[in-house]
Structure 1
């Protein structure tokens, strides 16, 4: 697999520009090291503003006419106060960026390219001063507040998905690493007949980005969604979903473990199929016909796994989505604490760390539209009168547990309170509807004779603070309830009974 920048192609492409841009500069001779350090800062910041992955300083090019004239500059032998030039520069740049001196011959003449990565989370400074390119001149950044403000905004809006997964890949390797056939199939559009048009389609989706030398970077979004094998690169290998099957209800007896290193979009169906294959089933009889039914609601499990993929913290190293299958439950763990209070999953407007990935998977029907995913999970579970799902935030991870059938007599107080709270949330999501003794009996599959027991369950949830009366002055027989946050200004959450969120 090609992963080395093509210096001659890069130089010729940049020389084809009618004039220098703010993110690259031509030189025919070597500058003083202080001036070079200032230019590195300026070009790193200018590349960020220009939304380029890199900037460049190239020695051996005449600035006036962009003719390749060659250079005698040899960065490896250049020393500054008894220190190597690159080390001397590194000690004075903040943050440290992975700049590189690259040497090659172009048209038989020696050239040196200084590759300068763009500024990422903050402006790059040299000797505690940030610089910027204005036209072909290097100036102090604080003299141009509008550029400084833009640079900070761009730095804060940069996402993991837009970062590079693999650099300097040629056309053939892009198509070998990405399952582009699955993309066009999911998008329901024909595969372009030419490689050029095919690559342009992938670039339009922000799966790949063309470099200045004509090669490609595969971006994290493209690789996470459509990698043929996530294990092809170390940085994303641990993002492969891991599935563990246990033979009982504890973790001490694991019977099967599998890592599925497939892109999330291209391999989602196979992930779900594998989970369904390992998950236990129950034998049922219908009209004298014996049938195996999934123990856990398939649609709910599917949505929980999709949520784990799109809401995980992708910057957490060494960990990824984990699905654990037990006899009585399925637990789905993803790195990263939720951005929304877990008590508000059903009703609060959702937030995702990975909006581009979430939008892509929604577009392909892999997960639900905004705000409806947890509605669907809770609805599917209530339809089968199963124990309510449980959400736990553990350190910097989120775990969702989906349970199999459990008799009401075996449910403890926490199980009942959780079920009633989510029942109230789901009802409220339907145009602000409340819950009553009747709806709670329906939720648990209780008949009318158990009204007193349903009232006792409601009292448990009321005492726990998870629900509140819709009208505190209503008579006992006519009492209706809302989620705790929907009762006026409870907890200062800004919710009201007129809608989901004020």
Structure 2
């Protein structure tokens, strides 16, 4: 966005012309800190969405009584610790959020800084994983104001699952599925058991919100529809595909499961080869054997796929079972909460669902809950079993979650469990370190501040404190960087012991001593730099492609 001074003055006049500060306009005399700035940008983006305004405005250099006094604030030059404020803020705010910053000097020599903030579009703008809103001249967490949140979340989303299928009748639903749904509803509402028995099928379906005024919805056809009625949902394909693959990723078996998906869930569950996993016996900390996959985790992951699939995309829900003890669930559509961290950290219900009618029906049938604890419980169960935490891949417009049904490092898992002050957030980050997954700069800084990891991102490793507690001292020594001085001495010792050596011969001697978490390319560059430093110091020379001590 490029604006002239005249256009900036026009934006300022628009802001000043409003009847006081609003959900989408705020004035400040000067800058007071990065956290306050980040919260304000989030609040104004969300407030602009709520107020149906294209932009929010944050203006520095305006007093409380709305007098133009000027400000010395320069966003581009401001620091936060040793970091650039602008870069830090961009990393802390929702990536999709857009805002533009302009500094200019007015004719009266007073300097103004204005943030022009694009309104949130289909989801609230977050700052440090939390959305904010401006209410009565104060910034608050959006979650505390459900009326605002409901208006902002997926403001223009149409609930595909709530659409009525005009060509469908109750005869297109499976009677066995209806009877099973009555059983599930009675389990959740035992005080209604006698009433449920007396209700006609269509009355029951109206009450659990699978039909609207006795008309058959897409949600009803997905959960309760007869297999031959699937054509009524074209081009949607409400199908679950189970695939078995060997460790080389070759398909060994597969099966498709058609609606009614309510009944298909048990069929899929029975198909999964939930083998027994035997722990190494050690005192009494572990049972001798357990199921590879916890039943709740399987059902939660599968039911989430059904509830949140973007059926308009026409793809299948798939479950890939591999003989390397992994189970991967895939559904089409973006992950609405944006990140797993948002779900885990907030530990509260989502404000919006892609298929709200379908979700509400599944809640009524005790298939899922909406209190925001399902995914968190999956993480807690895996942690309590000392298994790796679930891996989520939210790329390519789909959601993929992999459950690992084995312990990767028994001693590490056991000892880690005895360190009592680790939160689930801590365990999640350490789990990423163990899996060599990417960590953000802020996450790495956090782990280092708690003394849990060492090294440089992306080559972090478990710190000596944890290594000692988990009997990984030898592994720790292999990963720690001993410094160029140490490795230079090894090079000189190698040339002294073996005489003139080729680069390949030097690499063969030095590579095993470099940190284990460096890849081949990094080790190659490291040795190259050490050789060049020694050559510049006149300690070695290269002749006929061989290195020698001087």
Task: Give the TM-score of the pair, scaled to structure 1.
Answer: 0.46
Task: Give the TM-score of the pair, scaled to structure 2.
Answer: 0.43
